[in-house]
Amino acid sequence: MTVAIQAPHIAGTAFDRLAFQYDSLFTFSLIGRAQRDVVWQRAAAAFLPGSRVLELNCGTGEDALFLASRGVVVTACDASSQMIRRAKFRKSQEDPNSSASFRVLPIEDLHELGHRPVFDGVFSNFSGLNCVADLSPVFNRLAMLLRPGAKLLLCLSTRFCVWEMLHYAMKRDLQKAIRRCYGRSLASFDEVSFRTYYPTIQSLRGLLGSAFQLRSITGVGVTVPPSYLESWMSKHPQMLHVLKRIDATVCEWPIFRVLGDHMLLQLERTEP
């Protein structure tokens, strides 16, 4: 039986149980790589060598190690102690001299980083922010930590994922087909469940205030399916190649860009 636990950072506890399977399930999967390539292309353009970037929900360190390999100094955080343990191990094996540093720090505890603007950018990939019920305090805290002109790349799960709706509708599971549409749902890993939230672009704009300007929206996984279809997609690699090319065409089109698995928002810290 799956039990919903209401406790601080329960998402971190849930991801503890997934940490040592996460790379095989997503990071190194065909779908995971296809979606991450879109994000990396934007990240490489946004974060220049020598800049200091704060990464939220860093997982096993894949993105932090990528940015560090390009000369970015990364402070990478996650609520899951086991994800951080895995990230540190990967660094020791793959790039011991990497400028990426890892620490256990839930998004809700960003105040522990101080109150001065010390970062040139913020990066959050693949839905970590969807685990936070109220993002307003997060943006307020980030405003204190970021220098004027700093770039933010935030990748969130969308509220309306056409792939997910069609997939579960064909399985006659209407509840899962429309689970995101309500704006919140219950996610479960290894019998531990936690709330996830699906903000719209309009609701996010309302949280930004005068501290941030939304610069662009890019769809991630518009025609490339969600990762739970990996077993099917791995049998059709040529189809995945075609879907990636379609994604590259439509990912910035209005409407299309918010109907995929994720949406990538680029924000900029404005002058105080």
pLDDT of residue 187: 87
What HEC string does the chain produce?
CCEECCCCCHHHHHHHCCHHHHHHHHHCCHHHHHHHHHHHHHHHHHCCCCCEEEEECCCCCHHHHHHHHCCCEEEEEECCHHHHHHHHHHHHHHCCCCCCEEEECCHHHHHHHCCCCCEEEEEECCCHHHHCCCCHHHHHHHHHHEEEEEEEEEEEECCCCHHHHHHHHHCCCHHHHCHHHHCEEEEEECCEEEEEECCCHHHHHHHHCCCEEEEEEEEECCCCCCHHHHHHHCCCHHHHHHHHHHHHHHCCCCCHHHCCCEEEEEEEECCC
Q: What is the CATH number of the domain that holds 259?
A: 3.40.50.150
pLDDT of residue 166: 97
pLDDT in tens, the chain (272 residues): 333 333 447 888 889 988 999 999 999 999 999 999 999 999 999 999 999 999 999 999 999 999 999 999 999 999 999 999 999 999 999 999 999 999 999 999 999 999 999 999 999 999 999 999 999 999 999 999 999 999 999 999 999 999 999 999 999 999 999 999 999 999 887 778 889 999 999 999 999 989 999 999 999 999 999 999 999 999 999 999 999 999 999 999 999 999 999 999 999 999 87
pLDDT of residue 4: 37
Q: Give the structural domain span for 231.
A: 3-269
Q: Give the chain's domain count.
A: 1
Query: pTM, whole model, 2 decimals?
Result: 0.94
pLDDT of residue 199: 97
pLDDT of residue 272: 77
